[in-house]
Amino acid sequence: MWQGGGEIATRDGKHSAFASPATVQALKFWQDTIQQKVAPRNLPGGGGWDVIANLASGFCAMQNLGIWGVKALRDHAKDFQYGVFPYPLPPNGQQRTVLGGWAFVANAKGKNPEEAAKFCVWAVGSMQDDCIQRVVDRCTKAAGLMTPRKSVLEKATIEGGYSSGPMKLFKDWTLLTGRSEPRVPPEVYKAVSDTIQACQLGGADPMEAAEEGSQRIESFLSGYTGAPLH
């Protein structure tokens, strides 16, 4: 959807933008993978994220996956030969991918929010050498991740964490074409998720499903007063 120029909501977050040609082509793409039998309805192992049970086992030839798959293969299938490439583009599309994941949050209503906030900064957000190294080790050794921090990215590259193979591609290509993961309330997430399921696995008409999903989002946003959608 993003690669085709589509969005879930308008820029001000007050209205749905889901029923767009970009959404329809994205829904049609995933529907076609099932109907043309190039993607399975059921997956072995833990599911779509499990690269060992799916790709390394030979169950599939390609897998739509995140960066965590690199470390999983390194740890559990070190002799498996594979490559990494960006998402295919729709007509007149632009390369986009989603960046995001786990984050530290200090609860403003907790017993000691000030100390909680200080811990978050100490752990992943300060410019102290030990903090930078901590995030370097987390990204390149413990978990196999990219980092949004320039200081960490530079140090990790110098230490060889992003100097070759798939991790270099993620640094030189994916990171530069990424967008922050969507921040939407559960009601909006469910409308999007239900629409994908209806088209990909239920055979629903993509245009009709996009309109229905958009109406659900519009209805919710008409009374929504929370944080801005991104």
The string of pLDDT tens digits covering residues 213-229 is 999 999 999 999 998 88
CA distance 182 to 52: 27
Q: Per-residue pLDDT for 102 more than 80?
A: no
Q: What is the mean pLDDT of the chain?
A: 94
Asked if 227 and 12 touch (Cβ cutoff 8 Å), the reply is no
From residue 31, give the alpha-carbon distance in Å to each of 43, 55, 82, 217.
16, 21, 26, 21
pLDDT digit string, tens, across residues 174-210: 889 989 888 899 999 999 999 999 999 999 999 999 9
Is 90 exceeded by the pLDDT of residue 167? yes
Residue 101 has pLDDT above 80, yes or no: no
Whole-number Å distance between alpha carbons of 98 and 65: 11
Q: CA angle, corner 65, sides to 191 and 131, nearest 5?
A: 100
DSSP β-bridge partners for residue 97:
178
CA distances from 146 to 5, 72, 152, 170 (A): 25, 15, 9, 7
Interatomic CA distance for residues 156 and 163, integer angstroms: 9
- Over the stretch 71-96, which tens digit does the pLDDT of each residue have? 999 999 999 999 998 888 998 999 99
DSSP states of 194-205 as a string?
HHHHHHHTT---
